[in-house]
Structure 1
Amino acid sequence: MTYLGLDACKAGWVVAVVSDERWIDAFVATDIAAAETRGIDEFAAACMVVDIPIGIPDTGTRLADTLARRFIKPRGSSVFPTPVRAALLADTYADAREASVAASGKSLSAQAYAIRERILDADGYAGRARIPLVEGHPEVSFRAMAGSGIPHAKKTFAGMTLRHQLLQAEGIDVPMELEGRLGGASADDLLDAAAMAWTARRVARGDADRFPPLHLAERFSDDVDSAIWF
């Protein structure tokens, strides 16, 4: 079987493809639907995990984000609070900040607002995907592979080297020279996508963990299971 891991990049999504035994390939897709179509048609993919929130809160914060931040210390800032739905639907950043304060008591960053279309795309597509689609987070997955907190940021040489080694230990030997032909995707994007593919493999096998655990599962008005899998 083969599995897809998706991470956002300048050109859309970089998609890593792995099998039960090894690394297969990577490509860039404009949106999640295109990634799924190519993944199924070309690689017979059975599951995909995306590094973007799925399950958007209407008020307050998600338990998934809170638990994930604790788990990945000292890299906790890598998990940003998922914006409330009203903020994501706002036409301007100023309106989004106002809506966020009204619904959650907190503002939101320009970075979070800038990826609102990606968040809404993933959240809306989850219910109509042809293969299982769930949320992951690369730093959560790498932390799970390592068995302890990761000291190096992902964009540093030490950080990329460590993450590459962690994937190799899981049978996923990412050919870093691929960065040159994946227009719009950087080396850390490729490693993050590979971590999401590792997670997709675990989800399909029934080996994955999740935040929050099933007995604390959260659903909001979109009626989507809000969880970070790893």
Structure 2
Amino acid sequence: MAAGGPPPVLGVDACRGGWVGVLLALGRPSVALFAPRAAELVARAGAAAAALTVVGIDIPVGLSAGGPRQADLLAARELGARRSSVFRTPSRAALEAPTHAEANARSRAAGGEGVSAQAYALRTKVLEVDAWLRDRTAGPRVVEVHPELSYAVLTGAPARHPKRTWAGSEERRAALRAAGIELAGDLGEAGERAGPDDVLDAAVAAWSAARVATGAARSLPDPPEELEDGVLAAIWA
């Protein structure tokens, strides 16, 4: 990123087999990293760039006891035609259910909706991050981001094309390039393990993390919603 930019930040996205991250550090090219666990990825980024300040991660941070999170509702509203990219985060009890059917039953018993297959498929990673954040006592600030919301803020409008299409990939690469974020063709292990859309999502998550670091980001909701477990839940962009 350009001189005078934010201190080191990391954008993180879930991918097959683990997590991919894009590290933005002042005066250095973007670096992509892969690790099987989110905590390990953040540790690797911290080793690569001292004084890592903010981590923007595309995974729910904060789980409700029952109803929908305001962050999910507001992000979907802002994305309009791209609202389907925002899934409603299931309650903690639903995510801890051993089967999708049980998750649906627990969600409805708490007064919520059924749990989508996409949301339940991410349960392992959601619970992994939830446990990590609860156990840690130090480290960079970790905030929740949503790549499609980040791109909408970056460009002024939701993306025109689905991210897994060629047109969608080029649209997002162009937006990142305009923001000063260049991704090399050879990303090493990260490029071999993560899909192109995962890398691009991690990159724009890093862009939002940089905005958080400089105080330019906004949260949905504003102020963040305090959930039953005391976590302040919000999506930042």
TM-score tier by shorter-chain length is over 0.9
* Aligned 8 A contact 1:74 1:151 in 2: no
Q: CA deviation at 1:156?
A: 1.1
Give 2:195's match in structure 1, choosing from 186, 192, 200: 186
Q: CA deviation at 1:177?
A: 4.0
Relative to 1, partners in 2 of residues 1:104 and 1:176: Cα closer, same or farther, differing over 3 Å? Answer: farther
Q: How does 1:65-76 map to 2 (within 5 A)?
A: 65-76=72-83
* Aligned 8 A contact 2:31 2:187 in 1: no
Give 1:98's match in structure 2, choosing from 81, 92, 105: 105
Partner residue, 2:216: 207
Give 2:44's match in structure 1, choosing from 22, 38, 42: 38
Partner Cα separation in structure 2 for residue 161 and residue 22 of structure 1: 23
Partner Cα separation in structure 1 for residue 25 and residue 82 of structure 2: 28
Residue 152 (str. 1) matches residue 161 (str. 2)? yes
Give 2:126's match in structure 1, choosing from 119, 122, 133: 119
Q: TM-score, with normalisation over the residues of structure 2?
A: 0.91
Relative to 1, partners in 2 of residues 1:131 and 1:180: Cα closer, same or farther, differing over 3 Å? Answer: closer
Relative to 1, partners in 2 of residues 1:21 and 1:155: Cα closer, same or farther, differing over 3 Å? Answer: farther
* Aligned 8 A contact 2:33 2:189 in 1: no
Q: CA deviation at 1:21?
A: 5.5
Relative to 1, partners in 2 of residues 1:159 and 1:105: Cα closer, same or farther, differing over 3 Å? Answer: same
Q: CA deviation at 1:175?
A: 2.1
Q: TM-score, with normalisation over the residues of structure 1?
A: 0.93
Partner residue, 1:27: 33
Query: 1:11 is aligned with what amino acid?
Result: G
Q: Name structure 2 gaps, 5 residues minimum.
A: 1-6
Residue 7 (str. 1) matches residue 13 (str. 2)? yes
* Aligned 8 A contact 2:34 2:190 in 1: no
Query: 2:141 is aligned with what amino acid?
Result: P
